Amino acid sequence: MRRRCYSLLKFRLITCIVAVFALSRSGLSAENEQVRWTPDIVFATVADEPLKLNLARPASGDGPFPVIVCIHGGGFSGGRREDYDDLCRKFAARGFAAATIDYRLSPKHRWPAHIYDCKASIRWLRAHAAEYRLDPDKIGAMGSSAGGHLSQFLAVTNDVQEFVGDHTHLDQSSKVNCVAAWAQASDFTREYGVWKEAPEAFKGFLGADLTAQTRRLHVRASPLFWVTPNAAPTLLVHGTADQDVLFVQSVWIHERLLSAEVETHLVPIEGGGHGLTGAHLHQAEQATFEFFEQQFQLKK
């Protein structure tokens, strides 16, 4: 009797495992039917260092599709483009094309190499728009932490030649139409004493920590001080409990953008920390999807 019960239990357990596996494969297949995934595209080679992007696009539809460039975080010295693979697939399932990109990292590379590479990726996407059914007139950017800073910096330097860089399709525009910046520091001079790793991080990123002599260097790398009426519309998403980059950093640039009469929206994630997870991450993603859908008039 015990053997029979054990055998029955074992059979049911195996059946459940097979069913769960089948459902997960079914979900994966459904996603693959919605999304066309093209990884490891080299968009630039700088001093023999290849920079790549992973591209997600809707599997159906003629396009051209609005494009979102996803820029990973990691304190300017870490992180991987693969960190945003899943988010790119989510964008593609909603009718966007989305690219998650490499950029050169510190301390090997100093500012402004990071922003040069972000702008280069945008120019590459425009140059290859016809090949991948992309809309060259509808390109946005998003990112969190360092990626949020780089996204915001793109928005406020659309018309600043200094940060274009000197590689990759210089005949194309590196302009973005709108950005979503999560947990970004708009003023680097006020990260000291807040983020415990600031002195070491900025020494690797900018080549120096904050002194009276290097303050100008920090100011010029901070999005807050580049805001003009020409800045791109911006969504700011920030956890109110962020202890690495204080929520007020987003308040400062939100107010500066408003003063310049630039469209801007601030979404506080109540109780959210620096790295958003769970319900906080879902809230940030939903706000971001809705913002880009509205900006690019993408009907759902």
User: What is the reported pLDDT for 26?
Assistant: 37
Question: Strands across the sheet with 49-58, in order?
Answer: 35-46, 49-58, 97-101, 65-71, 134-144, 178-182, 234-239, 264-269
Give burial (CB, 10 Å; 0-12/13-18/19+) of 126: buried
* pLDDT, tens digit (0-9, with 9 covering 90-100), for 205-229: 999 999 999 999 999 999 999 999 9
Identify whether the C-beta of residue 151 lies closer than 8 Å to the C-beta of residue 121: no
Q: Which tokens in the block code for residue 186? A: 């708009």
User: What is the reported pLDDT for 165?
Assistant: 96
Q: Looking at residues 231-250, what average pLDDT do you find?
A: 98
* pLDDT, tens digit (0-9, with 9 covering 90-100), for 53-87: 999 999 999 999 999 999 999 999 999 999 999 99
Tell me what percent of the residues of the chain surpass a pLDDT of 90: 86
User: What is the reported pLDDT for 262?
Assistant: 98
Q: Is the pTM of this model over 0.85?
A: yes
Cis before 136? omega within 30: no
User: What is the reported pLDDT for 24?
Assistant: 40
User: What is the reported pLDDT for 33?
Assistant: 78
User: What is the reported pLDDT for 22?
Assistant: 43
Indicate if the pLDDT at residue 95 is higher than 60: yes
HSE (CB half, 13 Å, CA atoms) of 27?
5
User: What is the reported pLDDT for 299?
Assistant: 73
Q: Which tokens in the block code for residue 176? A: 């973005």
Q: What is the mean pLDDT of the chain?
A: 91
Indicate if the pLDDT at residue 142 is higher than 50: yes
Q: Looking at residues 262-269, what average pLDDT do you find?
A: 98
* pLDDT, tens digit (0-9, with 9 covering 90-100), for 18-39: 443 443 443 344 456 799 999 9
Helix/strand/coil (H, E, C) string of 147-183?
A: HHHHHHHHHHCCCCHHHCCCCCCCCCCCCCCEEEEEC
Higher pLDDT, 14 or 131: 131
Torsion angle defined by CA atoms of residues 10, 14, 17 and 21, in that order, rounded to the nearest 10 degrees: 180
Indicate if the pLDDT at residue 16 is higher than 60: no
pLDDT band, residue 266 (cuts 50/70/90): very high
